[in-house]
Amino acid sequence: MKTYSQLHRANQSCLVILILTVFGACGDSAPPAITVGAISYTEDELLGLSPTRRTTLAQLTALALAVADSSTGQLGEPLLEKWETERLLNILAAELTLKKNGVDDAVLEAHYLTNPEWELTVRHILFFSERWREPPHRLEARDKAERAMELLYEGADFAEIASQLSEEPGAEGREGLLTPGREGSWVPEFWAAALSLQPGEISPVTETQYGYHILRLEDRQIVPFPEARSVVSRSIANRIEDPTAVLQAWLEEDTGVTGNVRQSMALAEAIRLNLKVPAEEIIEFERDWDDITYRWSTALGFRYGLSTSEIASAALGALASSSQNATIARNELAEHDAMLRAKYEFTFSSPQG
């Protein structure tokens, strides 16, 4: 027969088992409500957030992760591939249009010589002050550029001033000299300023999204026609008729072909014709993506080197931000949900309450 103390201990054990069964074993934690890559959020952190807002938080977290480890380039690879494919199809459409209308290379080259493409060699001085900066910062950078202009007007050597004053990384060793560029290699304002110069001439202070520049044109050379042909062909084709409609008609010649099969056929034809997207246009795509992610990260408060806890905090802060720029960034980011999920796995538990 059990003693009172034995019965008491047995009752206590049953009570403990009951508590653990109902509420979970001691020390166990609830599963994360959201997990994005290495970042997790508990249900307590997400109280009151709708499923839509939770998805937005996951998207913000994915971008913050990419910014933190400087992998936004890798993140954007699917989008860059899409842009390049679309451009290649545009080039194919132009070629089909020229062929349909009997326009050969002799006609293209004759036209090209009246308005050639240029490759420019430029030396420049840069004072960083991106357009999102506060007005005092912008004004200070502008004043620096104006003082540099005064030195140049007084006869200072441009290369020496670039080496001493330019804020571009590596400018000291290169004395401000850039790799020769073609249209699309640089942002439009910079290109326009360089193109307006003759060799040896110095530009006025020129504002771009990066800050304030002073340019000196070192040299300009006509791009050989074979290298410029893709640009010329598109320009001429667009003057004749709508190349997109020509491509569509070409695809519809086989009435049994639809959807993705049509695009595959078109890409195969572009490869057969040895068509390629010019390198400077690919560079332009990459720069556009860099500009987009830079604008997003600035508006949302993300930066390189954040720890996992700082990333989670920054993403929650970005979700709560009411600024116009943050709202725009969140809306644009939502359009790239599939791209974000391709790099970081999103997992959600069912919202509680």
Same domain, 262 and 317: no
Of 101, 100, 164, the closest CA to residue 127 belongs to 164
Q: Are 122 and 215 in contact (CB under 8 A)?
A: yes
Rounded to whole angstroms, the Cα distance separating 266 from 272 reads 10
Q: What is the pLDDT of residues 93-145, one digit of tens each?
A: 999 999 999 999 999 999 999 999 999 999 999 999 987 778 899 999 999 99
Same domain, 150 and 217: yes
Domain assignment present for residue 15? The answer is no
Q: Pinpoint the alpha helices (H) of the chain.
A: 4-23, 51-68, 72-75, 77-100, 105-114, 135-153, 158-165, 171-174, 188-195, 225-240, 243-251, 259-272, 279-300, 308-320, 324-334, 337-343
Domain assignment present for residue 262? The answer is yes
Name the residue with higher pLDDT: 255 or 200: 200
What is the model's pLDDT at position 259? 66
Q: What is the pLDDT of residues 296-353, one digit of tens each?
A: 999 999 999 999 999 999 999 999 999 999 999 999 999 999 999 999 999 998 653 3
Domain assignment present for residue 41? The answer is no
Burial of 317 (0-12, 13-18, 19+ CB in 10 A): middle
Same domain, 166 and 180: yes
What is the model's pLDDT at position 255? 56
Q: Are 82 and 285 in contact (CB under 8 A)?
A: no
Please state the three-class secondary structure of 79-97 as a single string. Answer: HHHHHHHHHHHHHHHHHHH
Domain assignment present for residue 10? The answer is no
Domain assignment present for residue 107? The answer is yes
Count of domains observed in the chain: 3
Same domain, 94 and 56: no
Same domain, 63 and 101: no
Q: Are 251 and 89 in contact (CB under 8 A)?
A: no
What is the model's pLDDT at position 221? 97
Rounded to whole angstroms, the Cα distance separating 91 from 294 reads 29
Q: Which residues pair with 125 in a beta bridge?
A: 214
Same domain, 125 and 212: yes
Domain assignment present for residue 129? The answer is yes
Same domain, 60 and 107: no
Task: Please give the radius of gyration of the chain, using alpha carbons only, rounded to the nearest integer.
Answer: 30
What is the model's pLDDT at position 209? 87
Domain assignment present for residue 207? The answer is yes
Rounded to whole angstroms, the Cα distance separating 46 from 266 reads 47
Same domain, 215 and 145: yes
Range of the domain at 189: 118-222
- Give the residue from 191, 206, 222 where a domain finishes: 222
| CATH code, domain carrying 182 | 3.10.50.40
Is the pTM for the entire model greater than 0.85?
no
Same domain, 184 and 138: yes
Q: What is the mean pLDDT of residues 187-205?
A: 97
Same domain, 70 and 93: no
